[in-house]
Amino acid sequence: MPDRIYNFSAGPATLPYSVLQQTAKDVVNFQDSGMGIVEISHRSPPFAAVIAEAESLLRELLAIPDNYKTLFLQGGASSQFFMVPMNLLAPGKKASYLNTGVWSKKAIAEAKLFGEALVPYSSETGGFRRVPSQGENQIDPASEYLYFVSNNTIYGTQYQKMPVAPDHVPLVADMSSDFLSRPIEVSKFGLIFAGAQKNLGPAGVTLVIIRDDLLERAPASVPTMLRYKTHADKGSMFNTPPCFAVYMVREVLKWLKNLGGVAAIRDSNEEKASWLYQVIDDTPYYRGHAEAASRSRMNVTFNLPTPELEKKFVAEAAALGMAGLKGHSSVGGCRVSIYNAMPQEGVKTLVAFMRRFAAENPA
Ligand SMILES: *Cc1c(COP(=O)(O)O)cnc(C)c1O
């Protein structure tokens, strides 16, 4: 792959090379039809087969039970911040939110437009360095749902054990940056959503997995396009779906299945992350942002001794073909995003560079 570098960007993020190659062909001529995948009708049999296969692969990879619908929506993960309360939080009712970073804060702000948002946990005063452990917080049993962000892309924290909600309180999870990175038990959730551009494809499609009974909760005032039920009833074809993004998600899901599925990728992801955390634990030169028990397997965040050294680190790495290592502007430092599609070789190359850089650039 002489034309490729290692892209550690947080999102849109690196995708499997084989998927990109196949896509490059299909954009011009899909299945010898003489038309590109972006040019064919969403009602045509070839596209119907694409979206059907994307759905069935997703259901197979996550063992999604029959009483859940899978939706391919637009508007990004950020639109779910309002769609969730718009559909599930009636006026005068309350929902509980675990505040572990920018993405949960944005979701809390949207929830307040529709009802009461309780925040039984927040790690904000500590700089969002951790997520709560299971059962750490009392959740109001009158909550319409308990909302959390499974992986905090910006801070590099992740739940190793999912939160538990009181009986009859559905769990709602923003899994945008760790969806399909590890097995999950879907039956424990009421709703899961994920923007595609971190771990499963290009920007432009958001996946939603929703339990059937929750489709009925939306107040009558919710506009047609913003009701989950509209899209569930029409198999995500109420209007034109994001065809190209859905096609690429299907290619990524095929790739993941061929690799052995989510359990196999989980093992690989854990290995990749452990190599990076080993460097952080071995040398005080790199200071990890996340508390050890909350460390993310997807986004590894750390600081160097000074901002000047961080700048030099990012620039030298880029010159060696390792891009996207600058931390998010709200926290600074460095961030290494190692989603499913980042090859182990890329992480090994970076780890070797980190050790060399620390030795050559004393604080
Ligand atoms: C990137 C991200 C979002 C925002 O996604 P958009 O598709 O840009 O709206 C939301 N939540 C998490 C956890 C993210 O990583």
pLDDT in tens, 198-247: 999 999 999 999 999 999 999 999 999 999 999 999 999 999 999 999 99
Question: Among all chains, which residue has been given the structure tokens 């899909």?
Answer: 30
Our answer to whether residue 93 is catalytic in this structure is: no
CATH 3.40.640.10 for domain 18-259, yes or no, is yes
CA 176 / ligand 1 centre spacing (Å): 6
User: Which of these is catalytic: 26, 69, 174, 272?
Assistant: 174
Distance 150 CA to ligand 1 centre (A): 12
What are 15's two structure tokens? 């995708």
Q: Which residues are registered as beta bridge partners of 216?
A: none
Residues 146 and 140: their CA atoms lie apart, in Å, by 9
Q: Where in the chain is the domain with CATH 3.90.1150.10?
A: 261-360
Mutate to test the pocket of ligand 1, among 78, 158, 176 (most ligand atoms within 8 A of CB): 176
Protein residue whose Cα sits closest to atom 7 of ligand 1: 76
- 174 catalytic per annotation: yes
Query: Of the candidates 327, 270, 292, which has an alpha carbon nearest to the alpha carbon of residue 129?
Result: 292
Give every strand in the sheet of 287-288, ordered side by side. Answer: 287-288, 299-303, 334-337
Is residue 3 flagged as an active site residue? no
Instruction: List the residue whose alpha carbon is closest to atom 8 of ligand 1.
Output: 76
Of these residues, 26, 69, 178, 198, which one is catalytic? Answer: 198
Q: Which residues contact 62 (CB under 8 A, 6 or more apart)?
A: 180, 183, 184, 186, 209, 262
Mean pLDDT computed over 55-80: 98
**Angle formed at CA 192 by CA 292 and CA 220, multiple of 5 degrees:** 140
- For 90, phi then psi, to 5°, come to -75, 155
Give the pLDDT mean for 123-132: 97
CA 90 from centre of chain = 27
pLDDT at 8 over 70: yes
Q: Which CATH superfamily is domain 261-360 in?
A: Aspartate Aminotransferase, domain 1 (3.90.1150.10)
Mean per-residue pLDDT, 2-24: 95
User: pLDDT value at position 3?
Assistant: 85
- Mean pLDDT along residues 320-330: 95
Per-residue pLDDT, 299: 98
143 confidence band (pLDDT: 50, 70, 90): very high
Q: Provide the whole-model pTM.
A: 0.98
